[in-house]
Amino acid sequence: MAPPKAILFDVGGVVVLSPFQAILDYELENRIPIGYINHAIQQGPPSTGAWQLIERGATPLNDAWFAAFAAQLSRPDVWHAYWIRWSARGGGHADSGTTSLLGEHVPPVPRIDAKKLFWRMMRYSRRPDGAMYPALKALRRKGEGRWVVGALSNTVDFPTGIVDDEGVLFDKSVLYDGRPEWEGDSANIADWFDVYLSSAHIGVRKPDPEAYRLAGETKAAVRALEREVGVSLMEERSKL
């Protein structure tokens, strides 16, 4: 089999910690049915949903956007449909270890602090994944001059000087937490790759086929997309 010409990564939840863990933590803390928040995000709508717009760079990150994001997470129709489906599966909360006794009554839409949730997600995903990041580095070393290592990531464009929900100036730099084996590594995620495609800067986000077309066009040929990369990365990790 011919070697790959290019290997394409996702970033969040692959080479850095997943922001979805921050969502899960928020749901557990606030006894929100597990998976509801991500479901509400995915329901969009694709062309006008607040989350979809921010990841396409089609709207600025400001208080108006946070209000729109809160509204996206609080749509009664989405909540009603999710509750019915969740209830039919038995309900329950992961933190209690038991199944709730649910009736047919659908409770009010949960109150979600969209700004707090968002910034938790952003802070959590600033750290490298302890297995996948070393595997990425190994692939780049072994593939130097042989294949291109790129990233196609759904992202947010942070305005200069923006502060988080705690009033702290947000810094998107990678946090290595003093791990000696990563000393000297770049704190800019884009530097980890030969090519870095950010959805908020190219104006198109996954899973839009146009995003993958642009990625393939940029790299000339893409040998493996995310799932296939995961398999090869596991092989690389075993060799580290």
- Express each pLDDT in 10-40 by its tens digit: 999 999 999 999 999 999 999 999 999 999 9
In the chain, where the domains are located: 6-17+125-239, 19-121
Report residue 158 as tokens. Answer: 């942070």
For residues 49-78, give the mean pLDDT.
98
For residues 125-146, give the mean pLDDT.
95
Half-sphere exposure in the Cβ direction for 33 (13 Å, CA): 27
Looking at residue 219, its pLDDT comes to 56
- Give the whole-angstrom CA distance, residue 174 versus residue 178: 11
Q: Which CATH number does the domain 6-17+125-239 belong to among 3.20.20, 3.40.50, 1.10.357, 2.60.40?
A: 3.40.50
pTM of the model: 0.84
- Give the whole-angstrom CA distance, residue 138 versus residue 118: 32
